[in-house]
Every structure is written in C-alpha cells, then in structure tokens.
Amino acid sequence: MKNANRLIIMTIVFNFFILIGVGHGIVFLGLFEVLGFKEFFRGDTKFSFTGNYDDRLFTSATISLIGQIILLISYYKRVLLQKYVLVYTGIPILFFSFFVLTIELFNSTLDSFSFCTGMPFLITAIILLIRTIKNHRLTSKVQQPT
C-alpha cells in the first residue's frame, strides 16, 4: 500500500495545482479553495453547476476540497477496508469537481485550459482508482476461506 499512499498524495497535489482562469490571470485551484472562502463570507460568490465558468469556480473548488480532505484521511488509515472506502469516495468526488469545472470543455477556452492543466490529475486519479480496485480484489481473495 506504500505505492497507493504515494498515488493518493500525487492525486491531491495534482488536483490542487489545476490552473484556473480568474480575472486577468491564472491561479491554482487549491489557492482558490483557500481564498474563495473569504469571498464566500462576503457574499461575492454563488454555487452553480451549470452557469458560466466564473460561476462554477467556487462550486468546483468547494467540492474539490471535500474530495481532497477525504483522500488525505485515507492516507492515514491503516485498516485497508477503511482506506478503500475512502478512496472509492474521494476519487468520484474529485472527478465530479473536475467535471463541474470543465463542463463546457468544447465551448469555452477557459474550460479547455483547465482541462489541459488537469490532465496530470486525471491520469493519476485513474491509476489510483485502478490500483485500489486491484489491491481490494487481491486482499479480499486472501481473506476469503477456500
């Protein structure tokens, strides 16, 4: 499971460093996760799954933060079943966040930009999911009496 822990951290980091276009520049999604809450408490943000790119940013960042926290918790779990459940929960949440961020992939250059910079995350998350499924199957076969 040492490789799985490395993949968990890589997935979190790559998700954190997805580039997003804001204002007249770019920023990491993770930085927006942290700084976006200040705007949220001032009432400058809104939740939207289908609005334009700017409207979806905070929604995507919030969902992403939840997925990152779940994966971070899975990193520290020693009971394999708990680790598997947390990975199976965290990865789809991060995928959904990425989907919300890039839903207009073919109609928006900002969505396309975020999708391209999110490819390392997407690849790492898929590898993590596949390896977790394989490890889960192997450990469940070992635990079953024959």
**What is the predicted pLDDT for the residue at 105?**
87
DSSP the chain: -HHHHHHHHHHHHHHHT-EEEETTEEEEHHHHHHHHHHHHHHT-----SSS-HHHHHHHHHHHHHHHHHHHHHHHH--SHHHHHHHHHHHHHHHHHHHHHHTTTTTT-HHHHHHHHHTHHHHHHHHHHHHHHHHHHHHHHHHHS--
**What is the predicted pLDDT for the residue at 1?**
59
- pLDDT, one tens digit per residue, over 52-95 is 888 888 889 999 999 999 999 999 999 989 999 999 999 999 99
Q: What is the mean pLDDT of the chain?
A: 88
- pLDDT, one tens digit per residue, over 49-61 is 888 888 888 889 9
Q: In the chain, what percentage of residues exceed pLDDT 90?
A: 56
Residue predicted with more confidence, 106 or 89: 89
- Cβ neighbors of 32 (< 8 A, separation 6 or more) are 20, 22, 57, 58, 61
Please say if the pLDDT value at position 45 is more than 70.
no
What is the pTM (predicted TM-score) of this model?
Answer: 0.89
**What is the predicted pLDDT for the residue at 102?**
93
- Give me 131's structure tokens: 């390896």
